[in-house]
Amino acid sequence: MKIEVLNIEGQQTGRSVELPDDIFGIEPNEHVVYLAVKQYLANQRQGTHKAKERSEMSGSTRKLHRQKGTGGSRKGDINNPLYHGGARVFGPRPRDYSQKLNKKVKRLARKSALSSKAANGQIFVVEDFTFETPKTKSFKTMLGKLSVADRKTLLVTADHDAALYLSGRNLQETAVVRAADLNTYEILKAQTLILAEGALDKIKQSLA
C-alpha cells in the first residue's frame, strides 16, 4: 500500500512511501487485539487498595455482653463487621494485577490495529520535523493544517523528541510516542495516526 508523504503544512511533498502489507495490510485478529488491550489495562493498575480487617482495627476487644441469656444476638468486640464503623469482611488487599502475553501475540495485535487504521484511511505520513522550542500553539497549528485538530491524534516519532513531546502534552486529545513504545491500546484509542517518515523504519524493525 502506497501513501502520500505530507509536510506539516498539510501539503503533498510529491513523494510516497510503501506501507508493508505484512504490517499494515493483514486481516485484523480481533481476539488477539482484545488480549493485548486487556493486558495493557491490567498492567496499569497499581493494586494498592487496602481495607482494614478485624485484627487491624483500633478498639477494645472486650466482649460486649455475655454469650447467652440476654435475648439478643451473640456479639464479640466493637470491631464486629456487623457494626457501623466496624471492620470489613474479606476486604481488598494489595495484589499484583499484571498479566503476561507472548511476544508473538502482542506483535500480531499491533499489526492488526495498524491494519485496521490503514484500511479505514486513518493514517497520515508526514516528513520528519521538529520544533526548536516546545510550543503548543505550533503543534495545534500543525494539526489544523492536517485537518485532524478535532480528532484524537497519536503522533509517532522515530526517537524521543522532547520539543514535540512537550508541545503536545497540554493537548487533551493528542499524544506523542516514539515508535519503540507503540502499543495496541494507544493505536486503537486514537482516531488518527500521524507517522513521522523516519518512524516507519522503526516500526518495521520492531514488527519484523
Name the CATH topology of 2-45+98-207: Ribosomal Protein L4; Chain: A; (3.40.1370)
Q: Which of 111, 173, 109 is nearest to 136 (CA)?
A: 173
Tens-digit pLDDT string for the chain (208 aa): 889 999 999 898 889 999 999 999 999 999 999 999 999 999 999 999 999 998 898 988 899 899 999 998 888 899 999 888 889 999 999 999 999 999 999 999 999 999 999 999 999 999 999 999 999 999 999 999 999 988 999 999 999 999 999 999 999 999 999 999 999 999 999 999 999 999 999 999 999 7
**What pTM was estimated for this model as a whole?**
0.83
Domain ranges of the chain: 2-45+98-207, 46-96
Is there a contact between 23 and 203 (Cβ–Cβ < 8 Å)?
Answer: yes
Q: Determine if residue 69 is left, alpha or beta; phi over 0 gives left, psi from -120 to 50 gives alpha, anything else beta.
A: left
